[in-house]
Structure 1
Amino acid sequence: MDRRIEKSKKAIMDALTSLMAEKDFDKITINEIAERANVNRGTVYLHYVDKFDLLNQCIEIHLNQLLSSCMIPQSQEISRNSPKADMLQIFHYLEQHISFYFILLTNKGTPTFRDQLLHMVQEMISVHLNRQNILIRVNKDFLVQFVASATVGIVEWWIINEMPYPAASMVDQLWQLFEKVELVNP
């Protein structure tokens, strides 16, 4: 991709994020985004259909960066790390990028992020269950939904409350809960 295009897209995404730190997504206009990014309104529309498309692409990029930086497989590939080590990498990544995730989780009008995060966690849990020979006593879909919802809820609570516990402590606590629901072998 042309560096100028890349630079413009980054400026536009950064402008959206900084505006979301100041006000609700629903109240942000394309004009404000363009002004903050120091680009023409037409440049925003050149890359994005509307502000919702911009938000979705921004979320997708950040979640993909989370996945790639933590080396978490998106398919049936085997991770080089244990699931607990992968989880710790996720929490460390979230710690390093707290401002972005805090904005998305606290801004009214952005449930899309939580939905996409939930979907990502559901896929990761499904992959883990498919790899392991764990005897599941309940419906697999039910278990995936339950554990993913609980995990995202804990992550959301941790970020919104400005990380009251260290990442390693969060992972240890979650891991103990996973052992209780027999998601992992103790």
Structure 2
Amino acid sequence: MMNLIHEFVSQGINRTEPNDHNLTAKRDVIIKYVESGFLEVIIWWIENQMPYKEQDMAAQLMNVSIKGPYIIQPGLHAE
């Protein structure tokens, strides 16, 4: 399963941002960070009787990976 997650994450990051100069950390560190997060969330999802549909979980993981956890970046919203 880790190989599948690794390939999915690697391909996604490589396609989204091929230029290493635009990344906030080394590409291999980012890939490992994201894939380990995916794995832990998938384990949690299975242990909790899959409370969300597969497609919904995949979309949520991709959104968090690409956009982060916030709709509006903290500190950037109008007061």
TM bucket, shorter chain = 0.5 to 0.7
What is the Cα-based RMSD across aligned positions, in Å? 2.0
| Residue segments in structure 1 that go unaligned for 5+ positions in a row | 1-116, 182-186
Paired residue secondary structure (1:138) = coil
More helix by proportion, 1 or 2? 1
Equivalence for 2:73: none
Q: Does 1 or 2 have the higher relative contact order (CA < 8 Å, sep 6+)?
A: 2
Using the TM superposition, give the Cα deviation of residue 126 of structure 1 relative to its aligned residue in structure 2, in angstroms.
Answer: 1.7
Using the TM superposition, give the Cα deviation of residue 175 of structure 1 relative to its aligned residue in structure 2, in angstroms.
Answer: 2.2
Q: What TM-score do the two structures reach when normalised by structure 2? A: 0.64
Using the TM superposition, give the Cα deviation of residue 178 of structure 1 relative to its aligned residue in structure 2, in angstroms.
Answer: 1.3
Q: Give the counterpart letter for 2:38 in structure 1.
A: T
Candidates 8, 14, 17, aligned match of 1:130: 14
Alignment size in residue pairs: 65
Distance 1:130 1:176 in 2: 16
Q: Give the counterpart letter for 1:163 in structure 2.
A: M
Compare CA radii of gyration and give the structure with the larger one.
Answer: 1
Q: Does 2:38 correspond to 1:154?
A: no
Q: What TM-score do the two structures reach when normalised by structure 1? A: 0.31
Distance 1:179 1:164, change over 3 A: same
Distance 1:121 1:157, change over 3 A: same
Sequence identity, in percent?
28
| Residue segments in structure 2 that go unaligned for 5+ positions in a row | 69-79
